[in-house]
Each structure stands twice: as structure tokens, then as C-alpha cells.
Structure 1
């Protein structure tokens, strides 16, 4: 009898469409996993459709998205590997803390409650959404210039513009407001159960040139797990920006994730 295939659930963050995970899904399928990359609640099936209907995802909050993926995970035949980027990384941490998932990988994860560093580059990256309080209830799109600063700063302008054209979509601003206010809100939706000792192993990944989630933020996130005996690891990619899951070097990151999963026996 053939052993069941381990599912892998890919969770994207703000401003990227779920289709941005396609190269990862192909690689994970070849590596023996059963991958899926569901979009956020209401997210249209294509980049073009998402750009034409920004209101489809407007006003979604962190818990809305987390609950959406939690239901998807519960309907799977086996506990999956969870792999998230940016706010998808934060959601991965939340789901793993809830005991969902065999293991989690949070790549350049948005800051969770308890993380204090707030570098200037991160503030500037969030300004397209946070700069107008009325955006709380809206979906916001990036310009090419904004994408280059927040995602493509470690790339050539040509590659950054190509990725912008291929994958960017309007995204709800609410999660950014929730994360920014997390340390001032008692029951913040950006809170994660970092003390859960029975959760699956977690790998945090940072790019040292990331403007949107600077390395210092990911290192501070790693420290939030210091009181848990569950496996938690941190991996840095030197000179990589927030685009590290979709740019020309994506496979270096994906191969590292696969090696780590094998080391965990998953």
C-alpha cells in the first residue's frame, strides 16, 4: 500500500496573488508532497480578475483569513505542512500555534504581537496602506515604485517590474493596521500562541535586505518563542529582499525549506 502523501498549504501575504506560489507547488509535488495554494477569502482566481475587483477582499482582517485557512486544513486528509510569506507567515504561525499543521515555515513573517522593532524601512513600506486611515476598510494596490521599495529593492529594476506585472493585486489594508496596533490592543488578532509546546516544528526565514519585514523583526519574532520547548529554527538569506519567494533566487529558499522538512522527518 502506498503511504499517504503529506499535503502542503501555501499561504500568500499582502499584494501577491496565490498564483505566485506555482513554482513552489511544482517543486513540492515533484518532491513527494501534495501542494495547494488557496487564495484569501473571496480572492478571484486570476491576477487580472483580482485587479478588476479589489472590493472582493476589502476589509478582511487577520482572523478572517486565519479562519478561512483553518477550515481548509481541517478538510484535508492529513495534517499539512504550512508555508506562508509575509502576512501568510503570520497566519502560518497562528495556525501552528492552534495545533493545526504538521510543521510551519514562516518566510519574512509580518510582525506578531510582542515584536517591538519598527525600522524606518518597514514604516515606509507600509505607508501605501497605513498613510490614510480610511484605507482600513479598503483594498489598496501598490505602484511599481512602491513595489520596488517594499519587495524588489534587492533586484534589478527590470526584474522588479516584471514581478509587479505578473503577481501584484490589491489587498486589504486592515491586517496592516491590526499588526501596527498589536502591542496596544489586549486581544489583538496579531497575537500568536508562541508558548504552545505541543505544536509542530517551525522555521522562520528572513532576508537581510528586506524592507517590508526587516531581518531585525524576524529575529525579534524568533525570540518570542524562547519559552517554548517546541522546535523553532531561524534561517537568514543574505542580501535577499521581500521578493525572495518569487524572484530569480526562489529555488534556493525552497530547497532550504525542503531540506529542513526532511530533517524534521516530514
Structure 2
């Protein structure tokens, strides 16, 4: 009897964990054992998260990594971790720590050592950085801000619908930690990119992403130049930061499934 391979989905800032539900349904159909636990402090629903915005305030990168590491410890085997945005950074950290069998980092937030800082990324994160006090607070996006940061490559009506369905307040601390990473030798945004014994890693970028432009993902790939472990990159040239939740999500998910099979990580192994 084969045991389904566990898959842990990690969301990023401003999206609730339930935004992964279509992926969970698909991966379960493919024979995996998927789950999408929230970040520490995450309420169970979008509605509760909006009603209690400060429940996530003050949590940083290390808090999130330790939270997921503890959840992984309870699994029967090391999972595949798939993360989007800051979830992509978390996935890379867990992979570097040998806590998962493989990782997929989709439009992953900037790790320590990555230098490009495009103007669009600064604009997308301005709602947090405009007030230094936001480091200790939670921050919400307006529909217009979401449109620029996530939904710029999809119709305005779709962006508005996704905003209403999935967006939640997010802690400001991780963004401040990532922004200062290259000035802090002990930054929580540091990833063990030299670990040659780790499992395979897939980086995915969106060519129209304002929040994590393609140049950032390609600079992230260069950080792995000293490892012999599998490190691949795939770009979706016409997609933006909403690529995991918008109407084209299935193309991205199918690409991930194909890559996992190529790594010998098919379901029911």
C-alpha cells in the first residue's frame, strides 16, 4: 500500500490560506496528501481575518518558519513545500534546512543576497513602508493597491473579485526584515543556498509581476550557483503576482505537477 506524498502550501502576504483550495483539490485528485496551514495568528476564514486584523501583527520570518517546521515534524515524511510570494521564501528556508523533500517557490520574496530592487516592487510594498510603525502592525491593501501589486495582468473585474474573495490583513514585519536583509549578517531572510544535499527546488516567476519582478527571481537563481542540488526556473511571461489564484492558476499548477514527476516525486511513490 502506497502512502500519499504530503504537500504543504504556504501563502504569502495579503492572501488567506484558503486561496490554495483549488490547488489542494487538484493535488488530492493526483494522489497527494495536501494541506494549507495558515501563518501563526491566522484566523480560520477571510471574514475573521478582516475582523481581527491585529491577530497576525508582529510575526516575522523566523516565527513563520518555526511554525511550519513544527507542523512538518508531525507529518509521516518530509513533504513537498509549495509557497507563493513570502511563502516562496519560507519554502526555500525550509528546503535549505532539509525539512522538506522538495520546494516550489512561486514569485518568491527577495532572499538575502538578492540586490535588484525594481521601482514596481517599491510601489507594491509602499502601503507597508509609508509608516515605520507598520513593522509592528498589520496592514491591509485597498482594491486599487491589490490591482497594482497582484492583478495588473488580468481584467480589472477579475482583480476586484479576487480582492473581495481572498485578501486579508498581513503583518508588516516580514517586509521590513527582507528590506534590511543585505545589511544584517544574521537576517531571517538568509537562506542556505549552498546546501548540495537538499532536495530539488523550482523557482517560478511572472514576467509581468510588479511585486516580485522576473529580475528578482533570476537574481535569486544566481544565489544557488554554488550548489550541486537541482535548481530550476520557469517563467510565465504574461502572468503577474496573482498567478496562483486567478483564472490561469491551473496552468501553473499543472506545470508544478509535471516538474514534481520529473523529480521522481509523483504521487503514491
TM-score, normalised to structure 1's length? 0.99
> Runs (4+) of structure 1 moved beyond 3 Å?
none
Map Cα deviations across residues 3-53 of structure 1 (whole Å, 9 max, x no partner). Answer: 111000000000000000000000000001000000001100000000000
Partner residue, 1:30:
29
Partner residue, 1:215:
214
| Runs of 5+ unmatched residues, structure 2 | none
Map Cα deviations across residues 145-199 of structure 1 (whole Å, 9 max, x no partner). Answer: 0000000000111000000000000000000000011001110000000000111
Q: CA deviation at 1:101?
A: 0.7
Q: In structure 1, what is the Cα distance between the partners aligned to 2:220 and 2:149?
A: 20
SS in 2 for 1:104: strand
Q: CA deviation at 1:94?
A: 0.3
Q: CA deviation at 1:131?
A: 1.2
Partner residue, 1:255:
254
Q: In structure 2, what is the Cα distance between the partners aligned to 1:101 and 1:166?
A: 30
SS in 1 for 2:174: helix
SS in 1 for 2:256: helix
Partner residue, 2:199:
200
Partner residue, 1:62:
61
Q: In structure 1, what is the Cα distance between the partners aligned to 2:157 and 2:92?
A: 33
Q: In structure 1, what is the Cα distance between the partners aligned to 2:256 and 2:69?
A: 22
Q: In structure 2, what is the Cα distance between the partners aligned to 1:255 and 1:242?
A: 17
Q: CA deviation at 1:79?
A: 1.0
Q: In structure 2, what is the Cα distance between the partners aligned to 1:118 and 1:34?
A: 37
Partner residue, 2:73:
74
1:9-20 aligned at under 5 Å gives the runs: 9-20=8-19
Partner residue, 1:116:
115
Map Cα deviations across residues 87-138 of structure 1 (whole Å, 9 max, x no partner). Answer: 0000000000000111000000000000000000000001000111010000
Q: In structure 2, what is the Cα distance between the partners aligned to 1:26 and 1:186?
A: 41
SS in 1 for 2:194: coil
Q: In structure 2, what is the Cα distance between the partners aligned to 1:52 and 1:133?
A: 23
Q: In structure 2, what is the Cα distance between the partners aligned to 1:92 and 1:220?
A: 17
Partner residue, 2:240:
241
SS in 2 for 1:5: coil
Partner residue, 1:158:
157
1:94-105 aligned at under 5 Å gives the runs: 94-105=93-104
TM-score, normalised to structure 2's length? 0.98
Map Cα deviations across residues 216-245 of structure 1 (whole Å, 9 max, x no partner). Answer: 000000000000000000000011000000
CA RMSD, 1 decimal: 0.4
